[in-house]
Amino acid sequence: MLLAVDIGNSSIKFGVFDINDLSGIKYRFSISSSTSRTADEYELLIRQFLLINNSPKINHCVISSVAPSITHSVYNAASKISSKMPFFIGSGTRTGFKIRIDDPCELGADMVSNAAAALNITNGPIVIADLGTATTLTAINRNNELIGSIIIPGAGLSMNALSDTAELLNKVSFKRPDKLIGTNSADSITSGVINGNIFMIDGFVRNLREQLCDEDIKLSLIATGGYCNTIIPHCRNKFKIIDDLTLIGAALLYIKNKI
């Protein structure tokens, strides 16, 4: 079995795959990202997850990380669980597609994994929206080349920043209000943040479509991330939502590099 790990700034996702069949994830769980947890604590959490699901022995492990301060502890934990040392997605990873940006080393492992998963589903041009701590839009052209990305503060980050810095604005629930124009502080904030992200994504997609497509070429849209299901269903552009996109891509990259 293959353990895939997606280390983000807000959460860490774990997924178990059958190494011989990546068509579906077998088990999954997630925990909050924390620099205070030790490798032993991460190991205990992972072992409990595997035990609850009666998972067979983990022989392989792949890690995608955009949070270096947490990576070492998770790596040490995973190395005690997997019979083979964990594989990192990063510079030098064989992807099967070209990365045409100024410095490929700057590209986040999550974007690389997302692109690998997306290109396993469809061909370019593709825009991948990942709505996490940051909202990222990754562009893949018609030649299946990753040509760049757009990075925006995430919806949750924007909500927290507004609540934390504006003294009279209390924290509000993260739910789209029924009305565009808020008639109380809570609805005004959530409309601004959630509808603002909806309109922003639609606006970017409109302009990216003009840049990536001709009239005879359709733009594929794929979305993932923790805030995906709150925002993407309300966009005018229709995305295919794949919750485990990063884990699936990480597993595919492991197969390409290690098997």
Preceding peptide of 125 cis, ω within 30°: yes
Helix (H, G, I), strand (E, B) or coil at 73: helix
DSSP 8-state code for residue 205: H
- Report pLDDT for 258: 84
Question: Cα 56 vs. chain centroid, distance in angstroms?
Answer: 26
Q: Are residues 143 and 185 in the same domain?
A: yes
122 and 170, same domain (yes or no):
yes
Which of the following is catalytic: 110, 130, 187, 244?
110
Tell me the CATH number at 180: 3.30.420.40
Give the count of domains, the chain: 2
First to last CA, the chain: 13
| DSSP secondary structure letter of residue 58 | P
Catalytic residue list contains 187: no
pLDDT profile of the chain (259 residues), mean per 10: 94 93 88 92 94 91 95 95 94 93 93 97 97 95 97 87 65 78 83 93 96 88 95 96 96 92
Please indicate, yes or no, if residue 258 is contained in any of the structural domains.
Answer: no
User: pTM value?
Assistant: 0.91
pLDDT value for 50: 92
In this predicted model, what pLDDT tens digit does every residue of 8-19 receive, in sequence order? 988 999 999 999
pLDDT for the residue 170: 64
Q: CB burial class (10 A; 0-12, 13-18, 19+) of residue 170?
A: exposed
Q: Give the Cα separation of 179 and 183 in Å (integer).
A: 9
Q: Residue 83 has which token pair?
A: 């019979």
Per-residue model confidence (pLDDT) at position 166: 62
Going edge to edge, which strands form the sheet with 27-32? Answer: 27-32, 11-17, 2-7, 60-65, 87-88
Q: Is 36 within the bounds of a domain?
A: yes
One domain for residues 127 and 162: yes
| Each residue's pLDDT tens digit, 135-146 | 999 999 999 999
Q: What pLDDT shows up at residue 180?
A: 92
> Is 228 within a domain?
yes
pLDDT digits (tens, 9 = 90+) for 74-111: 999 999 999 999 999 998 899 999 999 999 999 999 99
The range of the structural domain enclosing residue 70 comes to 2-88
